[in-house]
């Protein structure tokens, strides 16, 4: 069975000062603090990979990356799974697929989730599917995607999300695999963006008001 345990970052967590880690200079004025350093992210992903290999044993698995924010987590998670395939007795045959959704403008969640890119999902029929997401916020995006996936009749669908946000607007959805549960703040870095900025930041950080204004979208 999938493990719902995760690292819970409390609302009172002070995070880490920017000058304690290496942060791109062009973002120094735009961030409030580092919430999760890249090293901690890497170690947690290694554990998630171990759980996934254990759960699926020798069954084949199609890993479906939710672009764009999920690409870094997706890549690192698959690297760890492939590493485990080489060194443990259990191994999972892997295939990959991609889908792109749009659910944010600036820091506001859209009422309607848009599917704006992806392959034909018919090749997921009868397959074990692992959806790999960067963050579950309200849960509306992932529920929309899961409804879409049901129409192609996969064998089973599990969801791995690096982050789950504690927010009053949550619909209560909980993924099968969770890296970290975080406070209700807008986070960037590790491929999570704010209007396409901050994807080149290794750590997960909280953006400040200056950064939101600086990179605000006019649409």
Sign of CA dihedral 113, 116, 120, 123: negative
Closest to 163 (Cα-Cα) out of 207, 205, 194, 195 = 205
The answer to whether residue 5 is catalytic is: no
CA distance 74 to 154: 20
Q: How far apart are CA 203 and CA 150, in angstroms?
A: 34
At a CB cut-off of 8 Å and minimum separation 6, what does 119 contact? 97, 98, 99
| Number of Cβ atoms within 10 Å of the Cβ of 74 | 25
Please identify which of the residues 137, 176, 200, 209 carries the catalytic annotation: 137
88: three-class secondary structure by DSSP: coil
Neighbour tally for 28: CB within 10 Å: 10
Give catalytic residue positions.
Answer: 137
């Amino acid at each position: 069975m999938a493990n719902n345990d995760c690292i819970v970052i409390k609302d009172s967590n002070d995070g880490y000062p920017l000058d304690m880690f290496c942060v791109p200079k062009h973002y120094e004025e735009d961030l409030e603090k580092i919430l999760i350093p890249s090293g901690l992210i890497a170690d947690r992903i290694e554990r998630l990979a171990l759980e996934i290999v254990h759960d699926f044993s020798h069954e084949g698995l199609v890993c479906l990356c939710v672009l764009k924010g999920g690409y870094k987590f997706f890549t690192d998670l698959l690297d760890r799974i492939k590493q485990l395939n080489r060194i443990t007795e259990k191994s999972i045959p892997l295939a990959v697929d991609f889908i792109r959704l749009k659910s944010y403008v600036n820091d506001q969640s859209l009422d309607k989730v848009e599917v704006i890119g992806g392959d034909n999902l018919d090749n997921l029929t009868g397959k074990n599917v692992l959806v790999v997401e960067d963050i579950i916020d309200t849960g509306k995006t992932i529920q929309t995607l899961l409804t879409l996936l049901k129409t192609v009749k996969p064998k089973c669908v599990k969801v791995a999300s690096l982050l789950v946000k504690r927010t009053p607007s949550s619909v209560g959805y909980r993924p099968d695999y969770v890296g970290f549960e975080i406070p209700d703040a807008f986070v960037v870095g590790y491929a999570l963006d704010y209007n396409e900025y901050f994807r080149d930041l290794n750590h997960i950080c909280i953006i400040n008001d200056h950064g939101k204004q600086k990179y605000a979208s006019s649409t």
